[in-house]
Amino acid sequence: MNDIIISLQNISAEYDGEKVIENMNLDIRDHEFVTFLGPSGCGKTTTLRIIGGFVEPTEGDVFFEGKKINDVPPYKRNINTVFQRYALFPHLDVYDNIAFGLRLKKTPKEQIKIKVAEMLKLVNLEGYESRNINQLSGGQQQRVAIARALINEPKVLLLDEPLGALDLKLRKEMQLELKRIQQALGITFIYVTHDQEEALTMSDRVLVMRHGKIQQNGSPEDIYNEPINAFVADFIGESNIVGGVMHQDYLVEFAGVKFECDDKGFEPLEAVDVVIRPEDFKMVSVEEGQIVGKVESITFKGVHFEIIMEGHGLKWMIHSTESREIGAMIGLTLDPDDIHVMRKMEESVI
Amino acid sequence: MRVKASSYPYVAWALLFVAIPLGLIVYFSFTDAAGSFTLDNIIQAGIYSNVIIKSVWLSVISTVICLLLGYPLAYIMSRSNPITARTILLLVMLPMWMNFLLRTYGWMTILENNGILNQFFGLFGLGPFEMINTQGAVVLGMVYNYIPFMILPLHSVMSKIGNDVIEAAQDLGASPISVLSEVVVPLSMPGIKTGIIMVFVPAVSTFIISQMLGGGGNQLIGDIIELQFLGNAYNPNLGSAISLVLMVLVLMVMSVSGFLSDDNLEERVL
């Protein structure tokens, strides 16, 4: 495909002698909103910094529009970054911060004026031109940082946990806003976050990372509904993960009960991880239940109740809009497509 | 008001050792030996205008050299890892633990006509060069003695400039030179101003350095003032007047060039 804008080939990176990225291969298409998602220390920020040119990979090549850019310094790359803590210039006001990139390019003054006004409109900060940076709230600083990066009309915008310092409500607003900006400008966004909800909300494609490796690469729906292993399942949303045995295609046993499932292609009697989303349980009477147990605790979570049930020697997390009494005996049933069977990971992660 | 009470010792200190001596200097400047009011001292101080100009000129040169030498070092320190930075800082501070006179004597033995440097040049049949008792030697002495006062404030301001701000500038297209001129220099301006004051003010009033390294031919205004108090020319009234003129000149120059103006830069940057 020719619309690949950034390509990482066999990239490895070390930090203080420790491997933080291992042999990564990745293509990012033009106009795509791609998110690196993972816990801290998984190598997601390092990957972003390699694309931005701030970290040199120890091995492998970085391509931008088909050209190798390993040796191109950050200031010569047509890529801009929104930094984690904004990194605005404290000695400049809002206007001068945003105009910074164009001034370096010796753009004529009148043109800068027009473009800054355009950017301020894009990020909803009209009238803030002459404010000092420290007079702005966190959210406003974030908008300035975005405007300052976008005014250079980069082909690719890198965003390093840009919403991490904002409160929940503002974060949700900015998520929608960023998505709107990305669609309006049609440029590639590469986003780094450890917030799975943020990743699912905004992205066209999510890359779940762990220990410097991409665990899964797919659309938000795929990642959520078809996690490739127990780590991804656990990291994306909440899940019950139990050990089980695959008896044959479409038949798995866990918690001492055999269940029909949609999975196949395992060895006979292969040990597997079984992942069940808490919202997929259906609460029924004890007689009807495939799994039976006693309610241990109930927490009100707003939209739903979180019920912890003990049964078959395990604890089960259930999300339901219905509540039950603590101590009540209940039964649970599952449909075959609620059960996700996956190969055991080499190392235990949970 | 506990805060207020705890400030009394400092107020007393400032009165005793700053305000009263300053008042005395002003008083002596405008009186004669008998204690009656006169403007003669101030007028007489004008005789030394050439010396004052020379003192200011040599101090300006020294301050510029301190800035040119100190700035890159402070920048390197602020961008290196903490251990390296601390080692350099220690090396910068180390000479300051030695007595000022001793350090300057050290330079005398190095620069003398049959001193270490000339003996070294002599090995190659060069020289002897006349290095001691020149203006150059005075400037060298000033730079050597006062450069830590340039480096320290620069270092403390620069180490507060975040790496992310520098990366942001690179990201927006700034070459290494633009990073320096557009971001690092503006953000370190408070340190540059402090450093210039800390070097220029002691340099302009020094007398030991000029006496030891400049010989008789390079008297600076500090030497003239010293003569009025401790030397043969004993005349504290004239000495006070010259001091006052120098002080007023320095204050005027600094306020004109904006060094004392409060533009809140420090507040915004730090």
C-alpha to C-alpha distance for A33 and A205, rounded to whole angstroms:
7
Is residue A105 within 8 angstroms of chain B, CB to CB? yes
Mean local confidence (pLDDT), A3-7: 93
pLDDT score recorded for residue B85: 93
3-state secondary structure of A171: helix
The domains found in chain A, sorted by start residue, are: 4-230 (3.40.50.300), 239-278+336-350 (2.40.50), 282-333 (2.40.50.140)
User: Tokens representing B237?
Assistant: 């009234």
CB-CB neighbors (< 8 A) of B165 in chain A: 87-90
Contacts of B265 in chain A (CB under 8 A): 91
Q: How far is B176 from chain A (nearest CA, A)?
A: 9
Distance CA B168, CA A148 (A): 10
Count other Cβ atoms within 10 Å, centred on residue B200: 25
Span A15-25, pLDDT tens digits: 888 889 999 99
Q: At what angle do helices B189-204 and B236-256 cross, to 10 degrees?
A: 160
Can you give the pLDDT at residue B63?
96
Q: Identify from A100, A135, A141, A159 which residue to disrupt to test chain B contact, counting B C-beta atoms within 10 A and taking the largest count.
A: A100
Q: Using 50, 70 and 90 to split pLDDT, how confident is the model at A2?
A: low
A92, pLDDT greater than 50: yes
Residue type, B148: P
Closest chain A residue by Cα to residue B166 = A87
Give the number of C-alpha atoms closer than 13 A to the C-alpha of residue A93, restricted to the C-beta side.
Answer: 9
Enumerate the residues of chain B whose CB falls inside 8 A of the CB of residue A91. 183, 186-187, 189, 265, 268-269
Count of Cβ atoms closer than 10 Å to residue B86 Cβ: 12
Average pLDDT in chain A: 91
> What DSSP string runs through A19-66?
EEEEEEEEEEETT-EEEEE--TTSSHHHHHHHHHTSS--SEEEEEETT
pLDDT of residue B261: 60
Q: Does B182 touch chain A (CB under 8 A)?
A: yes
Identify whether the C-beta of residue B62 lies closer than 8 Å to the C-beta of residue B256. Answer: no
pLDDT class of A350 with cuts at 50, 70, 90:
very low
Residues in chain B with CB shorter than 8 Å from the CB of A148 are 168, 172
Tens-digit pLDDT profile for residues A185-240: 999 999 999 999 899 999 999 999 999 999 999 999 999 888 888 899 888 888 89
Average pLDDT per block of 10 residues along chain B, 270 residues long:
78 92 93 88 90 93 97 94 93 90 91 88 84 92 95 94 93 94 94 93 91 86 89 88 91 77 50
Helix (H) and strand (E) counts for chain B? 17, 0
For residue A262, pLDDT over 70 is answered with yes
Look at residue A259 in the predicted model and tell me its pLDDT: 92
| B148: closest CA of chain A, how far (Å) | 26
B168–A contact, CB cutoff 8 A: yes
pLDDT value for B219? 87
Contact A131, A147 (CB under 8 A): no
pLDDT score of A310: 93
Q: Is pLDDT at A348 greater than 50 in this prediction?
A: no
Interface residue B49 vs chain A (CB under 8 A) = no
User: Chain A interface, mutation test: which of B158, B161, B170, B172, most A Cβ atoms within 10 Å?
Assistant: B172
**Strand pairing partners for A63?**
A7, A68
Identify the pLDDT of residue B268. Answer: 45
CB pairs under 8 A between A and B: 72
Summarize the confidence of residues A64-88 as an average pLDDT.
93
Element counts in chain A: helices (H) and strands (E): 8, 20
pLDDT value of residue B260: 61
Confidence class of residue A347 from pLDDT cuts 50, 70 and 90? low
Q: What is the pTM of this model?
A: 0.81
Look-up of token digits 């690719």: A156
* CATH of range B47-269; options 1.10.3720.10, 1.20.950.20, 1.10.40.30, 1.10.3470.10: 1.10.3720.10
Chain A interface includes B185 (CB < 8 A): no
Among A25-34, A78-87, A165-174, name the one with the lowest average pLDDT.
A165-174
